Structure formats: C-alpha cells, structure tokens
C-alpha cells in the first residue's frame, strides 16, 4: 500500500475500534447538566461541533491493548467505561491546550475558547477533568486493588508529563532559535497519553509483565508518530501554519529545515512578508520538505518505525497482531 492507503486503512481501523465509545462519550456530554447556563452551552458546543471531528485513537488503543492482554481468553471488550472516562480527561487537556495556543478555530470550527473566551474554556475543561476522574474511579471499583493502584499511579504521572510538554513548548516559543532535538522531545512527551491508554488496557486485561512492557512502548510510539504526522500536516495547512507562526512554535519539519542557512533565509523572508497565499505556502512547504535536514528526519523516523515493527513479534499469533501492524504502519510511514 502507498502512504495514503496506509493512513486511510489506519483511520478505518481506529474508527472501527473507537467510534462507538466516542459516540457514547458525546451522548454523555449532551445529557449531563452542569449549571443550566453558559457552561452547559459550551459543553454542548464541544459535543456537537468539535468532538465529531476527533479521531477516536485513544479508545481504540485501550480496546486493542485489552484484547492483546487477554489473548486466547478474550470474550468481550470490557474497557468501554474506562475509555469514556479517559476520553473526557483527554478532552479536558485539549480544551486547556486551545487556551494556551490561542486556538480559536480547529478544523474550520470554532473551539470553546474561540466561541466563549478563556474563562469559560478553563471552567469547561475543569468540568470535564472532574467528571472524567469521577467516572474512572467508578469504573475501577470492578478491578482488584492491585489493578486500581496501578491505574491510580499511572494517571497523574501521565498528566504531569503532558503538562511538562506544554510548559517546555511555551518556553521554547520565547526563543529566537529552537534546537530540533528540543522540539522533538516534546513530540516524545506528547505520546504519553496514547501510552497511558495502552497501559490501562493492559492492566484491565491482566497482561503479564512482558506484554505490558510491549503495550506501553507500542502506545508511546503510536502517540508520538501521530503527533509528528500532525506537525507535517500543519505545514501544509495555510490557516494552521499562519497560526503556528504567530502564536506557537513552527511545525517540526520547519524547525529542522531552519538549520540550513539558505532555506532559513527564504523562510524568514516568507514570514516577514506574511504572504500566506496558497501558492506561497505550497512553495515554502516544498522547500521545507525537500531540505536535507527534513530528509534526514524522515530517515530517522523510518528507522524508528522499522525498529518498532520488529517489536511487534511480541504479538506473534495474537489475534490483534494484524491491527497492531496496520496501526503502526499507518501512523509511522514517511516517504523519503
């Protein structure tokens, strides 16, 4: 399969495994009353406008990891209540992230921050965070004390790591020159929530230590790869690129390309002229993607992907092996 076919196949897989949970989460938001006022309106906006555009990767990973852990003992997926809770916690982080990034629009739709402002966005994110933790606590009541403790330790660690990634990026925005390795570390850190989904799926499925270690590594790689793909996509999106250059760090491939003085001169001129027409943006994107530094980055990513594919031998004979291969390939395939 070519790159586009691999990506489309991965998206189909993610929807098959996670869409039902995402719809259940959406209905929970629509049916929950918080204040009978603007907070409810903000949550309804998120449920109706923003959430349908979110790819259900996290619940898909929880489901896949649980099934991998159960192996031949798998009968039915018992992760739904956990996945709904974790989805709400992830949505909370996304809403708070929009405030930090001053993202008023995503996928051509207004965010809660864009429609209601920062104060309501903060409160909405907080409400989802509390509700998510409450539902997770309820779901964990069906688990053993060892499983409950493993999850209770894992969640705050993941939240702290994600917060550290945001803090690190905020600090880098103030620097005139960003080192590629510094920003690449943010990509790795942001893979923590995907890792957490796999960890929780494995814990619920009572994975042995070898399987759990594999699922944790697999989740981190999938999360990091998805984040990196978003960085490449932002380079090709006119409105997103404009926003990134104004309020955030440049996309990852542009940071790498800026190491070349000749390329840097052209990009600097592009930014100074603020010519974000389709033609100008496509020209810059091609220049960035064809640069030697980005070609080396793609080679590095391909090497990492090849190493992760080797690790999938852990799943040999497991019923989820084909799905894991497809997901890994679909999110990690980069043309050189």
In the chain, where are the structural domains located? 3-332
pLDDT at residue 334, rounded to an integer: 66
Q: Is the pLDDT of residue 198 over 90?
A: yes
* Topology adopted by domain 3-332: Farnesyl Diphosphate Synthase (1.10.600)
CA count, 13 A, side-chain hemisphere, 127 = 20
pLDDT at residue 199, rounded to an integer: 98
Closest to 177 measured CA to CA, from 124, 95, 249: 249
The Cα–Cα gap between 279 and 17 comes to 39
pLDDT digit string, tens, across residues 267-312: 888 888 877 788 888 899 999 999 999 999 999 999 999 999 999 9
Contact present, 22 and 63 (Cβ < 8 Å): no
Q: Which two tokens mark 278?
A: 């389709």
Contact present, 47 and 19 (Cβ < 8 Å): no
pLDDT digit string, tens, across residues 40-67: 999 999 999 999 999 999 999 999 999 9
Q: Which two tokens mark 312?
A: 């999938």
């Amino acid at each position: 399969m070519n790159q586009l076919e691999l990506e489309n196949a991965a998206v189909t897989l993610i929807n098959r495994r996670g869409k039902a949970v995402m719809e259940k989460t959406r209905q929970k938001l629509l049916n929950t009353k918080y204040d009978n006022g603007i907070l409810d309106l903000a949550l309804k906006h998120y449920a109706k406008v923003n959430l349908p555009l979110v790819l259900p990767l996290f619940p898909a990973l929880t489901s896949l990891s649980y099934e991998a852990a159960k192996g031949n003992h798998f009968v039915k997926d018992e992760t739904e209540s956990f996945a709904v809770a974790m989805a709400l916690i992830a949505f909370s982080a996304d809403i708070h992230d929009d405030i930090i990034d001053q993202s008023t629009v995503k996928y051509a739709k207004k965010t809660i921050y864009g429609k209601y402002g920062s104060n309501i966005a903060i409160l909405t994110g907080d409400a989802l965070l509390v509700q998510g933790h409450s539902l997770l606590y309820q779901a964990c009541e069906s688990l053993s004390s060892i499983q409950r403790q493993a999850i209770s330790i894992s969640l705050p660690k993941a939240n702290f790591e994600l917060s550290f990634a945001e803090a690190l990026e905020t600090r880098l925005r103030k620097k005139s020159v960003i080192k590629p390795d510094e920003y690449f570390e943010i990509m790795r850190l942001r893979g923590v929530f995907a890792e957490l989904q796999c960890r929780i799926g494995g814990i619920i499925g009572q994975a042995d230590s070898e399987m759990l270690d594999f699922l944790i590594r697999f989740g981190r790689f999938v999360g990091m790869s998805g984040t990196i793909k978003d960085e490449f996509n932002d380079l090709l999106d006119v409105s997103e690129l404009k926003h990134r250059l104004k309020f955030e760090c440049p996309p990852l491939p542009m940071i790498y390309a800026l190491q070349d003085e000749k390329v840097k001169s052209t990009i600097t001129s592009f930014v100074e002229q603020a010519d974000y027409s389709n033609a100008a943006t496509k020209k810059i994107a091609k220049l960035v993607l064809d640069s030697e530094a980005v070609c080396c980055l793609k080679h590095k990513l391909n090497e990492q992907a090849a190493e992760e594919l080797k690790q999938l031998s852990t799943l040999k004979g497991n019923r989820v092996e084909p799905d894991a291969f497809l997901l890994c390939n679909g999110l990690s395939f980069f043309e050189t």
